[in-house]
Amino acid sequence: GQNIDQPTEMTATEGAIVQINCTYQTSGFNGLFWYQQHAGEAPTFLSYNVLDGLEEKGRFSSFLSRSKGYSYLLLKELQMKDSASYLCAVRDSNYQLIWGAGTKLIIKP
Amino acid sequence: IAGITQAPTSQILAAGRRMTLRCTQDMRHNAMYWYRQDLGLGLRLIHYSNTAGTTGKGEVPDGYSVSRANTDDFPLTLASAVPSQTSVYFCASSDSPDNTGELFFGEGSRLTVL
């Protein structure tokens, strides 16, 4: 079966750095996505990785290793507004998205 | 404001009733999707449409139907609602399922079936 694993919840301190991991086992691979979802709101796109390596976008970076079935989202200089759930999703060989359950990130002052 | 609009935002429904969740986008995106989101689970695809006039079944299609008469609209119908269909429903669109495929989501419809 297809599976996306990510931690259920993480806590970090304002101004710090946090890394949210995602491991996947899917039927084929056509890209990995990270979305941010604030409580009660819609998910919004953060990043897309299809090749191995690091993609940097401001305070957020996303890393992919296809051979290890592994990705992480790195958030730097954490702000209170970064408190949200972070969803990892993999597009399989049929171009369907398989979603993880999300990681709830709690930022403390 | 361009985007994707869902209605209703929230609804309480008696079991056995028929319900249609509406979804409209003005971005001229080809692909549209309906997901449900339940606590502790990832988003699960109910139905999708890669282009107007075509639809396909996702991971959890039973009890739901969709239509795609035009590019903009993609309604989701529950023919006879059951309590297990209590969930938050998200409609999403993308300009194509085969490129980077970034999804744009509506604000969600919270449905409670009693």
Residues of chain A with pLDDT under 70: none
Torsion region of A8: left, alpha or beta (phi above 0 gives left; psi -120 to 50 gives alpha): alpha
At B37-72, the pLDDT tens digits run 999 888 999 999 999 999 999 999 999 999 999 999
Tell me which amino acid residue B74 is: F
At B2-47, the pLDDT tens digits run 699 999 999 999 999 999 999 999 999 999 999 999 998 889 999 9
Question: Does residue B8 have a cis peptide bond before it, meaning omega lies within 30 degrees of 0?
Answer: yes
Tell me what pLDDT residue B95 has.
Answer: 87
Across the interface, whether the CB atoms of B58 and A96 are under 8 A apart is answered yes
3-state SS, residue A15: coil
Nearest CA in chain A to B98: A95
Across the interface, whether the CB atoms of B101 and A97 are under 8 A apart is answered yes
Which of B90, B98, B100 is facing A48, going by the closest CB pair?
B100
| Nearest of A66, A58, A76 to residue A20 by alpha carbon | A76
Asked if B49 and B66 count as a contact pair (C-beta separation under 8 A), the reply is yes
Q: Which residue has the tokens 């056995």?
A: B16
Nearest CA in chain B to A86: B42
At B59-114, the pLDDT tens digits run 999 999 999 999 999 999 999 999 999 999 999 999 876 656 789 999 999 999 99
Across the interface, whether the CB atoms of B43 and A42 are under 8 A apart is answered no
